[in-house]
Homo-oligomer: A and B are copies of this chain.
């Protein structure tokens, strides 16, 4: 039962340092508040070490990276590792540009990440691109479907073993795995893809779950994925005639705000492979 992991977030109010893109940053902040955490944003290299030091976790999202923020990612990541903080990498757009791919790969090489979370295309790019993960068979399908599920589960477990990170691949079916176990999660709605930044929001929230549940990173990451997906379902049920993606955005964050242990326990749809 994954409900207790959100209860732990609400009772401990984890402070999360986010180096994240300017497109979805406001939603990331409000989702962190909605789930019971507390957000701080800072990307200036001269500021990030101090900020990360007072937080419990670091969420690095490369969505609108620039030369200065890239430097900030490395400074903050090293400091977070030094302090034993939880760290998460969201490699937005890895594979779409050389700078994004190289930055994500270099971050994986130099920083220990508790979790790496992306879509299948981004994660495959990292699996192929990183020296650390040499030898991982990234020749999986470009979408996780019932047909490609077993193959994808093997891929994500192998990548988790090579990297030492929990790997979370989100899509129609979500996979969250360490080397031994993979949560296969079937929460969510396809309409969530019509809102910008549900992935970024999930990465921020997941970091709070990881901070609040330091002994169970795999379960905490899976609980965050179920929370996001279930909020997408609840939010959709609350849509009225004339509503669209902007209202849906609000409805999802509202549903996270109102999510409790019992709702999550009842609504989470997953199996462990």
Residues of A within 8 A of B (CB): 21-27, 29-30, 33-34, 39-44, 46-47, 50-51, 54, 63-68, 93, 96-100, 194-197, 238, 242-247, 249-258
Contact = CB atoms under 8 A, between A and B. Distances in A.
28 contacts: A22-B25, A23-B25, A26-B197, A29-B197, A30-B196, A30-B249, A34-B245, A34-B246, A39-B196, A40-B93, A41-B64, A42-B64, A43-B64, A50-B97, A50-B100, A54-B96, A238-B242, A242-B254, A242-B255, A242-B258, A243-B254, A244-B256, A246-B249, A246-B250, A246-B252, A246-B254, A247-B250, A247-B254
Nearest to A255: B244
B67 A245 contact: no
Given A245-B33, A246-B257, A255-B244, A97 B63 contact: no
A40 to B, nearest CB: 7
Tell me how many chains of this kind the complex includes. Answer: 3
Given A30-B195, A42-B97, 19 more contacts: A23-B29, A26-B26, A29-B197, A33-B194, A33-B196, A34-B194, A34-B244, A41-B63, A42-B93, A44-B64, A44-B67, A47-B65, A47-B100, A50-B99, A50-B100, A244-B253, A244-B256, A246-B249, A247-B250
Interface centre among A93, A100, A244 (most CB of B within 10 A): A244
B23 A41 contact: yes
Contacts of A242: 238, 251, 254-255, 258
A99 B46 CA distance: 7
